[in-house]
Every structure is written in C-alpha cells, then in structure tokens.
Amino acid sequence: MEKKTSGNSLARKMAISLVCGLAVGLIMLFVRESMTSGSGAGTWNMINNLLFADITAAGSESAIGLFYIIGQLFIRALQLVIVPMVFTSITLAVGQISDTRTLGRISAKTIGWFLICSFFALVLACVAGTVAYNMGFFTTSVEGLTEATGSTGSNPLNVVLNVVPSNIGTAFSSNTAVLSIVFLAIALGLCMNVLGPEKTKTIRALVTELNDVVVVFLNYVVTKFAPIAVFMLLVRTFATYGINYLKPALAYVVLTVALLLIFLVVAYPIVVMIGAKMNPITFIKKITDVAVFGFSTSSSAATLPLNLKTCTEGFGVDNTIASFVLPLGMTINMNGTAIMQVIATVFIAGCAGYPISFPQLVVIALLALVASAGTPAAPGAGAIILFTILSGVGYVNDSALLAYSLILAINRPIEMLVTALNVVGDAVTSICVAKSEGLLDEEKYNA
C-alpha cells in the first residue's frame, strides 16, 4: 500500500508538473515569437540570459541560465548512474537465467516467449519509425546548431567491434562505452552461473547491493527532483527551441503512444489467444488492474506483487511458473521500453540530421533489445538507458544531445504507458508457459 501511495503521489506530481510546464512553456513560446519578431528582441535576450541560456555556450559567459542549470543538474544526476545501472542490472538478469539448469524446459519456453514478443514489438517500432522518418515528421533544424551530414563516417559494423573493450578501466570511465559495459555484465553473469552460487556468493552479494543502491539513488532523484526539473526542462524547451523543434516532438509523442496502445490492447490479447488458446476478452478484463497500477507507479518492481496475485489467483497460473516468469520478466522482458527506445532513436536521428539505413535500423533494434533487457524496474530508467543506443550508433552530436534532453523532458507520461506494457507482457508470457506445461487452471481463468 505504501508503494502504491508513493507511486500515485509521484504520478500526480508529474502530471501537475507536465501540465504547468506545458502551460508556462506555451506562454513563453508566444512571448518569444512575439518579441523576436518585433522590437522586443533586447528584452527577450535579457530574459533568455536570466532563465534559459546555455551557460556553457560561447557568448554566454555572463548569463545565469537558472532553468538550464537546474535541468542539467537533473539530467547529469540521471546520467551519473548509467554505467553502474547497466552493469548491475544485466549481470543480475543473466545470473537469474542460471535457473535454466533446474527449470530446464520451462525457462527455455519463458525466454522464447520473451523473444517472440520482443521481435514483433521491434518490427512494429522499426516499420512505424521508418515511415515517420521518411515522411519527414522527425526532420527539423535547431537554431544555432549544425546538422550532421553523415552517420559519423564509419561502418555500422564497428558497433560490433566496439562491444568488446580492450581495457576494463576505459569501459567504465565513459558513458559512451555503455555497450562494452553490457558485454562485461553478460560475461560476468555467465561466468557466475558456471562457477555456481557457492563460489560466487560474495560477488553476487556485492552486485546485488550495488544495484539496490543505484535503484534507491535513481528513485530518490526521480521522486524528489523530477517534478520541478521536468517543469523547467519543458518550459526551457518551448522558450529555446521554438515551434520548429516542437513539431517533431509532438510527432514522437503521438506515434509512440499509438504504438504502445496498439501493442497493449491488440497484440498481447492476440498472443494469449494464439499462444495459450485462451479467451482474449477475459484476459483484457482481468489484466486491467495490473496495467493501471503499472501506469500509475511507472515501476515494474512496485507492480510485481499485484501481477503475481493476478496471474495466480485471476488467471490460474501455477505459482511455480508465475514466481519464475514474472520476476525474470520484470528484469529482461521490456517490450514497451524497446518500442519507445527505437522510436526515440529514430526521432533523434531525424532531429540531428543522421540518415537511417536498413543495417543501421537492424543495429538500433538489436541495441534496443539488449538495452531494454538491462533497464531496471524503476521510474524513469528507460529514457536514461536510451543513451546506450545513441552512443552505440554514434548519434552524439550537439543536435542529438539536445533532442535527447527533450526526450528526458517529455517522456514521463510515455514511460508510464511503457511500464503498463512491460508488466502486461510478463503476465502474457506466464499464461502461455503455464498452458504449454499443463499448469494453467482454466476454470480460474474463465471464472
């Protein structure tokens, strides 16, 4: 109950922050357009220096940039935990797959259903993102910045080469080497599985405790600072970037929300109908509470107890299946996160002037699959892990980083819907696996 209250309180604060940020931002947008097109350019320049100016840019040595400073402190606090968050989350996720030694067939089916759902989610996102990109919905120019003219001038397969680091210290010292962190985490998790829990209990405890610290830090930053920071980021976005930049942002929001809703209310019921041969309407009715709770808390971890109860008592999934599938899914089954990250990456590519080719799209999809599997079950983590994909494909010029900051500012409502999709996906897999093993109580499901 405490987690639910806390989650609802944060959701209310974020909703207020978004509404206020949108309202004040629109006012500042109107003021900016009016002043810069008339005789008030000097007054606007003074307001901009006081509130919105990038104090690190040339010519802003005397600017205060209050909104910029607070927004950047929030973003940097989130980026601070990228490396430890990715490393500990994926290490623990791979460590849990060691259960395949004891559960064998059940765990293989679980991972198989995770991959099947992720495949269709990524295909949907890639197709929709490519159509939107080619139609110019994500194309824009940002005043004072130069768009990229290429894709960083290297073969996309260099991403594969750079996955394995030649120096462990270098990999941990830069956020742009996150893919190397992913490799190291997977390698460590697999090695721990081979050695067994007795020989690796110290390092398992260390990684678990570090992951707990990271999640607590992330929760604290999001809970205490996100509402005011998001308000300031939104207002500054409107005031700084103007109409030309916000048009593609609207396209990103509309497209992502549409895809998430389609997968939630259409794709998942179809999977239940085909994969488990159960009534999809019954599934929709009983899973609603889980989806709403996941949406309100924006945390898969907070939703896990309710999801376990719904799957075992509502759908009749045997407890041995639910207790394995749902916690594992909470860590590595992130279909909603993958959809959001693909669309966000394509959006950033469009904003920053990077071309999107089919090989690059495949790389983006694979990185989204790996990165989403390493996303902790905590609010706001999905947009932070997005930096993994951006660094992996080389979308790191000034325009790309500005677009990434915009994603951080506007992504909260999208991440709430992403969480709902993620937790429902875990329930879908548990139903399919239980049915295939003869461990689904169909009377309970249909009751």
Whether the full predicted model's pTM is greater than 0.85, yes or no, is no
Query: What CATH number is attached to the domain comprising 47?
Result: 1.10.3860.10
pLDDT at 282: 92
CB contact burial 127-150 (16+ within 10 A = b; e otherwise): ebbeebbeeebbbbebeebebbee
pLDDT, one tens digit per residue, over 214-232 is 878 877 877 788 778 878 8
**Segments forming the whole domain that contains residue 160:** 2-446
**What is the C-alpha separation between 47 and 228, in angstroms, rounded?**
19
Mention every residue, 6+ apart, whose C-beta is less than 8 A from residue 99. Answer: 107, 324, 328
Query: Into how many domains does the chain fold?
Result: 1
pLDDT at 414: 80
pLDDT, one tens digit per residue, over 29-77 is 888 878 877 777 788 888 888 888 888 877 777 888 888 888 888 777 8
**Per-residue pLDDT band at 316 (split at 50, 70, 90):** very high
Contact 313, 99 (CB under 8 A): no
